[in-house]
Structure 1
Amino acid sequence: MFKIMIVEDDYKIREIMIENIKKWNFDAIAVEDFNEVFHTFVKYEPDLVLMDINLPCFDGFYWCNKIREVSRVPIVFISSRNTNMDIIMAINMGADDFIQKPFSLDVLIAKLTAILRRTYSYSNIESNVLEYNGAILNLKDCNLMYNEEKIDLTKNEFKILYTLIKNNREVVSRDKIMKALWEDESFVDDNTLTVNINRLRKKLSDMGLTDFIQTKKGQGYIIQ
């Protein structure tokens, strides 16, 4: 089932859209907290985003740009703003279509269906991120984002953090982490792992993620 995320400030409009989208056997949610648009996107992992331009806090252009940093998921703007400049900005930001308000629900559904069919018939587009407690790991560019701050990770730091986040409710042994690092045939001994863990912890602490990686004596590591 395709998942649609709606970023629309008008409560009545978004409820009508959700009701009609679900009639076509799509799943749909609407963003409630407009400070958390990006985090909602990461957690929900939608197949398509419906985005208004005029929003509280930051406008739709801002959130479109944030999403495009990590994903090529289709984004369709819906707005009463219909100047050529608005449409050009939307397309330049990476939007796939622009629907002017007021719009026909039949036209909306037809456009969504066409974009989903076109997109997912030819490629498997996914969000290239992992998220845990507000920390967002970019799988494509090997960086970590937290509270609007971004840090670059070395290859080993990225693999360590990826392994821990993928197993976020489990204690991960040092052996399992070292095996993950060995996948590219580079030799990593026990001391090298300790150095990488300590360096990663320092980077995390500097961006506000103090004690993000916890040591379980005699067992391994777990993220908090």
Structure 2
Amino acid sequence: MYRILIVEDDQRIAELLSSHLDKYGYEPIVTHQFDAIDQAFEQIMPHLVLLDVNLPKFDGYYWCKQIRKISSCPIIFISARTGELDQVMAMEYGGDDFVTKPFYYDVIVAKVKSQIRRSYGELSIAATDTEREVHFYGMTFFPERPELHYGQQRISLMKKEGDLLDLLINKYPRTVKREKIFEQMWDEKEFINENTLNVNVARLRKKFTELGIENAIETVKGLGYRLNVSWNEVDKE
């Protein structure tokens, strides 16, 4: 049974979320430790977090960042904020999805199911005997961690960043259409804001920059994205 940590200061919403998830076979756990969400997380070790943005003392963005220091488990933001900037911030701080209030509880369940399947289902590392390594022009990419090694450097990726890089490598040197990326990375694409993909592309570009690599991902206007091998593999080996 998958444990779902619910971080929501509106008691009525928290109870309704808990009841709905319980009905679908999940193990929902509501926390009221709003001044120590990271400690609650470590005590519970959930498979997924439903995280409100507006919380006492520190907001959900802050707590998402703290959780990301210890876990890559899926985090779905739930918020009354509807602006694009809020959704961008959610992705920047490590969130995997963003749902605005008021919402249909069946939508929440669908998103939870999608994230659980991608993180712990048949394609996850737990379901395989051997960890997959992808060697690409002097780099080694470990999709299940997800982690990218380049020379003596290594950098951890968020799950969606890893999914995107895996797809771009598999299709190289071809361009991957935006529609294809939505299809591969999100099951419920009708609920995904277009800006969510833009944020994930920007985050992956930033990770390449941290490795000293510029222009690693090209935007093909009107189509989508493709990898650009702009680094020198010889110098890093």
TM-score category by the smaller chain? 0.5 to 0.7
Q: Which residue of 2 aligns with 1:58?
A: 58
Cα distance between partner residues in 2 of 1:49 and 1:124: 20
1:43 matched to 2:6: no
The aligned residue for residue 115 of structure 1 is 115
**Paired position in structure 1 for 2:205:** none
Q: In structure 1, what residue type is equivalent to 2:110? A: A
In structure 2, the CA distance between the partners of 1:75 and 1:107, relative to structure 1 (3 Å rule), is: same
Gaps of 5+ in 1: 126-224
State the 1:93 CA deviation: 0.8
Matched, 1:86 2:101: no
Alpha-carbon offset, residue 59 of structure 1: 0.3
Query: Which letter maps to 1:59?
Result: D
TM-fit CA distance, 1:16: 0.3
Deviations along 1:145-187, one digit per CA (max 9) or x if unpaired, are xxxxxxxxxxxxxxxxxxxxxxxxxxxxxxxxxxxxxxxxxxx
1:109-154 deviation line (CA, Å, top 9, x unaligned)? 11111110111123358xxxxxxxxxxxxxxxxxxxxxxxxxxxxx
Q: What secondary structure, in the 3-state scheme, does the structure 2 residue paired with 1:95 have?
A: coil
Whole-Å Cα distance in 2 between the matches of residues 33 and 40 of structure 1? 7
Tell me the TM-score normalised to structure 2 length. Answer: 0.52
Q: 1:110 is aligned with what amino acid?
A: A
Q: CA RMSD in A?
A: 1.4
Give the 5 Å matches for 1:1-224: 1-121=1-121, 122-124=123-125
In structure 2, what residue type is equivalent to 1:98? F
What is the DSSP-based 3-state SS (H/G/I as helix, E as strand, rest coil) of the residue aligned with 1:106? helix
Q: Which amino acid aligns with 1:123?
A: S
Deviation at 1:24, TM superposition (A): 0.7
Letter in 2 for 1:72: S
The runs of at least 4 consecutive aligned structure 1 residues that moved more than 6 Å come to none
Structure 1 residues 27 and 124: CA distance shift in structure 2, 3 A: farther
SS for the counterpart of 1:111 is: helix
User: 1:9-31 deviations in whole A, cap 9, x for unaligned?
Assistant: 10000000000100011001111
Deviation at 1:96, TM superposition (A): 0.6
Q: Secondary structure at the match of 2:111?
A: helix
User: What is the CA deviation profile of residues 45-101 of structure 1, one whole-angstrom value per residue up to 9, with x for unaligned ones?
Assistant: 000000000000100000000000111000000001011110000011111100010
TM-score (norm 1): 0.55
Report the counterpart of residue 213 of structure 2 in structure 1.
none
The count of corresponding residues between Structure 1 and Structure 2 is 126
Unmatched segments (≥5 aa) in structure 2: 127-237
Q: Distance in 2 between matches of 1:57 and 1:92?
A: 21
> Does the residue aligned with 1:38 lie in a helix, a strand or coil?
helix
